[in-house]
Amino acid sequence: MIQLSDRLLAMEESATIAMSRISRELKAAGKDVISLSLGEPDFFTPEFIKDAAKEALDQNYTMYTPVAGYDDLRESISLKFKRDNGLNYSKDQIVVSTGAKQSIANAVLSCINPGDEVIIPAPYWVSYIEIVKVAEGIPVIVHAGIETDFKITAKQFEDAITPKTKMMIFSSPCNPTGSLYSQEELRGLADVLVKNPSVVVISDEIYEHINFVGKHQSLAQFPEIFDQVITINGVSKAWAMTGWRLGYIGASKLIADACNKVQGQFTSATCSIAQRAAIVAMKADPAVLQDMIKAFKSRRDLVLGMLKEMPGVKANTPEGAFYIFPDISYFIGKKYKDTTITSAHDLCLYLLSEAMVALVSGESFGSNNCIRISYAASEETLVKAMTRVKEALAKLA
Ligand code: PMP
Ligand code: GLU
């Protein structure tokens, strides 16, 4: 009999992807399911980016590219880092990959030995844990609740560091909470890193542009720790290019070279056409994203307003990304007919069957009291979904 590897067997399926698969299957079976489960903009890729891809095909950009990405793409990313983030990453400190997901996997595989500890503040994005486990690292979870806007303090970070700590991974704007670390909060984390020069941080900034309160703050802005930071970004979210599969890192030359080496064995670079298209996205003025950001903000306000009318639901006000992560612990222990809710996961299953709304439960993000709502959908869809959720929750007693 064929036996799968222990490594594979220990890996969880991505909960975000699983929930979107289930809702797709239910829809195909004719059910009126509303999926607010996947973190994917509902906008289409802008025309000028699609045009660049069509041109690239006509110009026969159809062959293998340099593993780290075309030189002119990496130059445009280098300029983007300077323009938007004030960061000086030269072309050879940038590696372009098959989505930010692969960028994170490359970085973890490049740095983590079996038994190394990786600090992951919870709530975290689902894939961080599984990627660390594949590298045989040990995830060390540091919890933050709704009362601190789901952010850890510098003291919590420092207290979690042991001689085995090799890395920390976090996102700001955060998936699943929408929270942003302020410049001052990042300064606090940076001070801890100064005292621990062998610890590297993956700073996942893929939601950079989806920020409702001000300028994006990068962790790598503090010169003393610049080489300890691996800055992750990509085109999936801001440029509505999830299917194109293109993400990138800025990092020290040591780590960029290592990621390049890993990638040379795993994927030999991402798609040539996606790379040509990403050049025009990198060169575009981010001001063109304003309409999309405004649309996300008004959807956030809409969903938050509706959540506030639901007794028992507690929500913070997310400052970025396109998620709300309400605390639903009030419903744990409640019943409807013969269904008893014993966890956030049960509540998600109940909302799927009773309200036909697909959400993702907090357990997969390291937070047992919450559920994630992705509000990257039209206002009409959001109103319909939230009305159904409200009715279903009201039945629980
Ligand atoms: N990081 C976070 C926090 C995300 O939400 C996602 C979602 N896909 C990714 C990384 C990966 O993005 P990509 O589509 O570029 O692989
Ligand atoms: N990042 C998105 C999410 O959290 C897309 C799914 C995924 O890549 O896991 O839903």
Protein residues with CB under 6 Å of any ligand 1 atom: 39, 99-101, 125, 171, 175, 204, 206, 234, 236, 242, 247
Tell me which of 37, 77, 125 to substitute to probe ligand 1's pocket, judged by most ligand atoms within 8 Å of the beta carbon.
125
Local structure of 112: helix, strand or coil = coil
Tell me which of 13, 24, 98, 126 to substitute to probe ligand 2's pocket, judged by most ligand atoms within 8 Å of the beta carbon.
126
Q: For ligand 2, atom 4, which residue shows the shortest CA distance?
A: 39
Among all bound ligands, the one having the nearest atom to the CA of 127 is 2
- Structure confidence at residue 12 (pLDDT): 86
Q: Closest ligand 2 atom, CA of 360? A: 10
pLDDT band at residue 13 under the 50/70/90 scheme: confident
Among all bound ligands, the one having the nearest atom to the CA of 374 is 2
pLDDT band at residue 342 under the 50/70/90 scheme: very high
Element (H, E) at 124: none
**Residue ranges of domains in the chain, CATH in brackets:** 6-44+289-394 (3.90.1150.10), 47-285 (3.40.640.10)
Q: How far is it, in rounded angstroms, from Cα 77 to Cα 313?
A: 41
Question: Which pTM value belongs to this model?
Answer: 0.96
Q: For ligand 2, atom 10, which residue shows the shortest CA distance?
A: 39
pLDDT band at residue 104 under the 50/70/90 scheme: very high
pLDDT band at residue 36 under the 50/70/90 scheme: very high
Q: For ligand 1, atom 7, which residue shows the shortest CA distance?
A: 39
Name the average pLDDT for the chain: 96
DSSP calls for 48-64:
HHHHHHHHHHHTT--S-
Q: What is the pLDDT of residues 275-310, one digit of tens each?
A: 999 999 999 999 999 999 999 999 999 999 999 999
Other CB atoms closer than 10 Å to residue 13's CB: what's the count? 11
Tokens of 357: 């709304």
DSSP calls for 28-91:
HTT---EE--S---SSPPPHHHHHHHHHHHHTT--S---TT--HHHHHHHHHHIIIII-----G
Distance 237 CA to ligand 1 centre (A): 8
- Structure confidence at residue 392 (pLDDT): 97
pLDDT band at residue 139 under the 50/70/90 scheme: very high
Helix axes 99-111, 126-134, angle to 10 degrees: 40
Q: How far is it, in rounded angstroms, from Cα 75 to Cα 6?
A: 41
Q: How far is it, in rounded angstroms, from Cα 150 to Cα 164?
A: 25
Q: Closest ligand 2 atom, CA of 39? A: 10
Among all bound ligands, the one having the nearest atom to the CA of 359 is 2
Other CB atoms closer than 10 Å to residue 10's CB: what's the count? 11
- Sole residue written with tokens 């900034």: 205
Protein residues with CB under 6 Å of any ligand 2 atom: 14, 16-17, 38-40, 101, 127, 175
pLDDT band at residue 326 under the 50/70/90 scheme: very high
pLDDT at 80 over 90: yes
- Name 138's bridge partners: 117
234: which residues sit within 8 A by CB, 6+ positions away?
Answer: 99, 100, 103, 206, 246, 247, 248
